[in-house]
């Protein structure tokens, strides 16, 4: 069979599993989710018919070492043997009857790098070969249903696949642009590219509402500090991904935006009253659920008002009580990575069992996969994990797979197409924000320009130089009008006192300490964001954005 038709074949296999038929539905046009078909009890019957080993495998989404499903380096073989007792990702799927796999990747500026033990993504063609091989391995399982292949592709600071794809700006840039239609178009473009590479689950968008004050661990991964505005952006992003045939994931329930502690390293406390939580943190999750999010990710957060001391992902009052019963969500719930510090307070198999009993359906990146799989099978057989509880989770997963498996996979030639590039550039241009200086009119700088940068901002500075030069500005190594670029992790010490212009490429908070007569925020380091900044500085474009978070002492924009 031509591997490019695996989505259609996957839909057929899933239809057989759910309906007992002899073939799948005709595939809809590219990028169109399958129409609802099987009633819920059909999915439950299909799940109930699976062996215990298959049921357990369906709720696991580990990672694997190696850039190919079957042909990997000796180092990757050794790492897979150490972590899972197998040689390759395909072997892992076969041995543990897996229902999903996450693609991982590391980069120097990624705040989530601590949970990424390896990188198995490089360029789109390699990712497509990898996911094709993973799906072949999944089709050979007794369950015979397609694999959920997920990755953290938020864009901005968290993006696993960075080469050869259309680079969207950060969530905060979308919030500054405040154009939901543009958000939907950009995320539909991004979703089409993920689908072309064989990724059917995006662990995005972030639904966390940023704290009203500076600081906070989520930073530019959040769309902003206003629940209603964040909800509108989240709904638009979900709609774009859905339109491209990719399942969106809302994270990190019940809301990571008020915390200053990184849940990769420790358990953050949420000292929010229930009324404050309902009005300030939950609206974006409600909006994303209403827009059709395929999954909700539970965070490793200590929600003191509901279940003090227990990470939310392991709390039945949070997952079942708050998310399922109070918000009425009956879709797939996935844990945040189980290799993060708050989840490691228990042995891996016990953590997995607790997460399922709390109400989660999919266990992300469980450490010690052999122990987790064996432990959950044993828990089913001795009654600690009621089989009907596990069947309910697998039924939800089968419904999700049925919904998305019949999407015809786009060709890799769709990546970085003109329409996709335009959609991303439109958001970057709309996000550009002047927080000090003239709004429109003559250029904000004149004469030769020297662009300098804080540590780690050299690539962004190079893109800004290119954008200025393309608009006829003389860019010189020294002696010109100083333009200084700051970004993620920078503070007042990274500013330049004599800069005529300071450009912030991450959250805009650092601009509160800047003395420059012109302050410009781009919220992102993409080529499109830096080109938009250059256009504003030379007077070729307005700066229509408004800071989606309050910067002490500065307006949201000088543009009204």
DSSP class of residue 320 equals I
Average pLDDT rounded to a whole number, residues 273-281: 95
Q: What is the 3-state secondary structure (H, E, C) of 206-262?
A: ECCCCCCCCCCCCHHHCCCCCHHHHHHHHHHHHHHHHHHCCEEEEEEECCCCCCCCC
Residues 438-452, mean pLDDT to the nearest whole number: 90
Residue of 259, 242, 261, 262 whose CA lies nearest to 250: 242
* Statement: residue 4 has pLDDT above 80: no
In this structure, which topology does domain 3-412 adopt according to CATH?
A: TIM Barrel (3.20.20)
Q: Per-residue pLDDT averaged across 40-60, rounded?
A: 93
pLDDT band for position 32 (cuts 50, 70, 90) = very low
**C-alpha distances out from residue 96 to 52, 167, 249, 428, Å:** 11, 35, 24, 43
Distance of CA 167 to the CA centre of its chain: 13
Could you list the beta-strand ranges (E) of 30-95.
60-61
Confidence tier at 28 by pLDDT (50, 70, 90): very low
Going by pLDDT thresholds of 50, 70 and 90, the confidence category of residue 440 is confident
Give the whole-number percent of the chain exceeding pLDDT 90. 82
Domain spans, the chain: 3-412, 432-537
- Bridge partners, residue 451, by sequence: 483
Tokens of residue 107, six digits: 């980069």
Integer CA distances (angstroms), 144 to 10, 69, 106, 147, 303, in order: 8, 17, 32, 9, 39
Confidence check: pLDDT of 532 > 60: yes
% of the chain exceeding 70 in pLDDT: 90
The rounded mean pLDDT for the chain is 91
pLDDT reported for residue 112: 67
Other C-beta atoms closer than 10 Å to the C-beta of 4 total 14
The predicted model gives 274-279 an average pLDDT of 95
- Check whether 25 has a pLDDT greater than 50: no
How does pLDDT run across 94-151, given as a tens digit for each residue? Answer: 999 999 999 998 665 666 666 667 779 999 999 999 999 999 999 999 999 999 999 9
Integer CA distances (angstroms), 83 to 42, 62, 77, 456, 512, in order: 35, 10, 10, 33, 47
pTM equals: 0.92
pLDDT tens-digit readout, 499-518: 999 999 999 999 999 999 99
Q: Please report the pLDDT score of residue 258 as a whole number.
A: 86
**pLDDT tops 80 at residue 238:** yes
| Residue 115 pLDDT | 67
- Cis amide leading into 205 (omega within 30): yes
In this prediction, residue 3 carries a pLDDT of 34
Span 166-181, pLDDT tens digits: 999 999 999 999 999 9
pLDDT band at 403 (very low <50, low <70, confident <90, very high): confident
Confidence class for position 263, pLDDT limits 50, 70, 90: low
**Which residues are marked as active site?**
264, 336
Quote the CA–CA distance of 17 and 46 in Å, as a whole number: 6
Find all residues with CB under 8 Å of 382, minimum gap 6, and list them. none
At 162, list the tokens.
């960075």
């Amino acid at each position: 069979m031509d591997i490019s038709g695996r989505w259609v074949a996957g839909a057929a296999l899933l239809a057989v599993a759910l309906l007992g038929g002899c073939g799948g539905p005709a595939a809809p046009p590219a990028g169109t989710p399958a129409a609802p078909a099987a009633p819920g009890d059909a999915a439950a019957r299909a799940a109930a018919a699976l062996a215990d080993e298959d049921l357990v495998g369906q709720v696991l989404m580990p990672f694997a070492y190696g850039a190919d499903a079957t042909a990997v380096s000796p180092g990757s073989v050794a790492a897979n043997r150490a972590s899972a007792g197998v040689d390759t990702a395909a072997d892992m799927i076969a041995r543990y009857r897996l229902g999903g796999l996450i693609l991982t990747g590391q980069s120097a500026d990624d705040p989530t790098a601590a949970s990424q033990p390896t990188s198995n993504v490089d360029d789109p063609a390699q990712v497509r070969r990898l996911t094709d091989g993973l799906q072949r391995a999944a089709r050979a399982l007794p369950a015979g249903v397609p694999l959920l292949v997920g990755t953290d592709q938020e864009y901005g600071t968290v993006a696993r696949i960075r080469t050869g794809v259309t680079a969207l700006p950060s969530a905060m840039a979308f919030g500054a642009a405040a154009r939901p239609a543009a958000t939907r178009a950009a995320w539909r473009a991004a979703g089409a590219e993920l689908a072309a590479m064989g990724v059917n689950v995006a662990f995005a968008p972030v639904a966390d509402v940023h704290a009203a004050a500076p600081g906070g661990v989520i930073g530019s991964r959040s769309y902003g500090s206003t629940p209603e505005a964040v909800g509108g952006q989240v709904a638009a992003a979900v709609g774009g991904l859905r339109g491209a045939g990719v399942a969106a994931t809302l994270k990190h329930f019940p809301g990571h935006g008020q915390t200053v502690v990184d849940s990769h390293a420790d358990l953050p406390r949420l000292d929010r009253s229930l009324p404050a939580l309902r009005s300030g943190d939950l609206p974006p999750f409600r909006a994303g659920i209403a827009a059709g999010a395929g999954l909700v990710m539970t965070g490793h957060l200590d929600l003191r008002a509901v279940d003090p001391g227990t990470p939310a992902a392991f709390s039945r009052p949070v997952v079942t009580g708050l998310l399922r019963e109070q918000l009425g969500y009956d879709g797939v719930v996935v844990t945040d990575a189980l290799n993060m510090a708050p989840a490691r307070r228990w042995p891996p198999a016990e953590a997995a069992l607790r997460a399922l009993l709390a109400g989660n359906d999919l266990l992300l990146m469980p450490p010690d996969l052999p122990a987790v799989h064996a432990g959950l099978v044993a828990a089913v057989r001795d009654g600690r994990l009621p089989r009907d509880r596990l069947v309910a989770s697998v039924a939800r997963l089968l419904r999700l797979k049925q919904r998305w498996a019949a999407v015809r996979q786009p060709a890799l030639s769709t990546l970085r197409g003109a329409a996709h590039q335009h959609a991303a550039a439109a958001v970057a241009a709309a996000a550009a924000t002047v927080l000090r200086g003239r709004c429109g009119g003559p250029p904000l700088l004149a004469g030769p320009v020297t662009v300098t940068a804080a540590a780690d901002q050299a690539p962004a500075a190079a893109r800004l130089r290119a954008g200025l030069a393309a608009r006829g500005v003389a860019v010189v190594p020294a002696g010109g009008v100083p333009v200084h670029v700051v970004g993620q992790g920078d503070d007042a010490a990274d500013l330049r006192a004599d800069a005529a212009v300071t450009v912030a490429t991450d959250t805009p908070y650092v601009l509160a300490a800047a003395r420059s007569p012109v302050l410009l925020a781009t919220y992102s380091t993409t080529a499109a964001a830096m080109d938009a900044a250059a256009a504003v500085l030379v007077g070729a474009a307005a700066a229509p954005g408004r800071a989606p978070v309050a910067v002490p002492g500065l307006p949201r924009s000088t543009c009204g």
